[in-house]
Amino acid sequence: MTQILEILISGITQGAVYCVVAVGLSLVYGASRILNFAHGSLYSLGGFLAWYLVAGGPGLPLWLVVLLVLPVLALTGIGIERAIIRPLRGSDNWKINTIMVTLGLAFIIENGLQLVFGPGTRTIAPFVEGSLSVGGITITWYKLSIFVISLALVGALEFFLSSTRYGQAVRAVSQDMQGANQVGINVNQIFGLTFALSVVLTGIAGILLAPVFLVSPLGGWVPFLKAFVIVVLGGLGSTKGAFVAAFILAVLEAFVIFYIGPSWAMPAWLLMLIIVLMIRPKGLFGVWEN
């Protein structure tokens, strides 16, 4: 029983961080229908930036690093939208084009990281040590903290989307672009905003998970794939769907890893995805048709 509870808790804490990566991917998709293939590489970028500032050179504390890296990630997102997404808007085959350029960007970031930091893996020491034991169940303080931080990030995003002007504008653009234009929303500005938020979310997740998993130049593809499965399972573009799906899959993963083995985690995710899509082709909370 304790065993099962422990696995469950491990899954839930993991789910919250997956959720951060996935809502970032979903946010951009929802607003602009772009699947950003560089999302995972940007996760690695966050991890490496943090590693450098914490362990590589300046030796700053992790909490300060997060604050410093935040604006860098936001500007990176705005820059990506401005430099490689906006010029393609209105072009024929824009969807395919955006896939090609974001995939290209992923390779550029990965090779850049490899060039600067080398191909090896890195890790960061967690900002809290020790663990909490209650009734025979043990969880590290660090996992508990990243669980809380992740929930706070997703909660803040949800509040932004539901209760602020700009958040309303993001939803407006995702639901009817011409309608958004008609009421005076600058669609390019909103695209830039969603990219900024998206890169912040994935980059922060990359930092938070650096002490748990390792950081490596090519290490972003697993989080990308997982975020993609979460977003499709939850329903493309639905934040609520991504939230629910992240927890379902992370708990599933925790049980599969414990009872069957780590190499079965991804197959289990894909199996789950196939089953859900057979029953609900739009995913759990998918509402938009394209």
Q: Under the rule (CB under 8 A), what is the footprint of other proteins?
A: 165, 168-169, 171-172, 175-176, 178-186, 287
Q: Residue 174 or 202: which CB sits closer to other proteins? A: 174
CB of 162: closest distance to other proteins in angstroms?
9
What is the pairing mode between strands 137-140 and 131-134?
antiparallel
Q: Residue 71 or 176: which CB sits closer to other proteins? A: 176
Q: Residue 138 or 186: which CB sits closer to other proteins? A: 186
CB of 240: closest distance to other proteins in angstroms?
11
Which of 76, 80, 60, 77 shows the shortest CA–CA distance to 68? 60
Which of 111, 117, 145, 149 shows the shortest CA–CA distance to 47? 117
Q: Residue 134 or 183: which CB sits closer to other proteins? A: 183
CB of 183: closest distance to other proteins in angstroms?
5
Secondary structure percentages of the chain, helix, strand, coil, to 5: 75, 5, 20
Instruction: Report CA dihedral (196, 152, 237, 167) to the nearest 10 degrees.
Output: -60
Residue in the block written with tokens 């025979």: 136
CB of 190: closest distance to other proteins in angstroms?
11
Q: Residue 229 or 231: which CB sits closer to other proteins? A: 231
Q: Residue 169 or 200: which CB sits closer to other proteins? A: 169
The answer for residues whose C-beta is within 8 angstroms of residue 33's C-beta and 6 or more apart is: 95, 290
Q: What does the block give as tokens for 7?
A: 């696995």
d(CA 152, CA 166) in angstroms, rounded, equals 19
CB of 175: closest distance to other proteins in angstroms?
4
CB of 285: closest distance to other proteins in angstroms?
11
Q: C-alpha distances in angstroms, 179 versus 110, 187, 242, 259? A: 38, 10, 26, 51
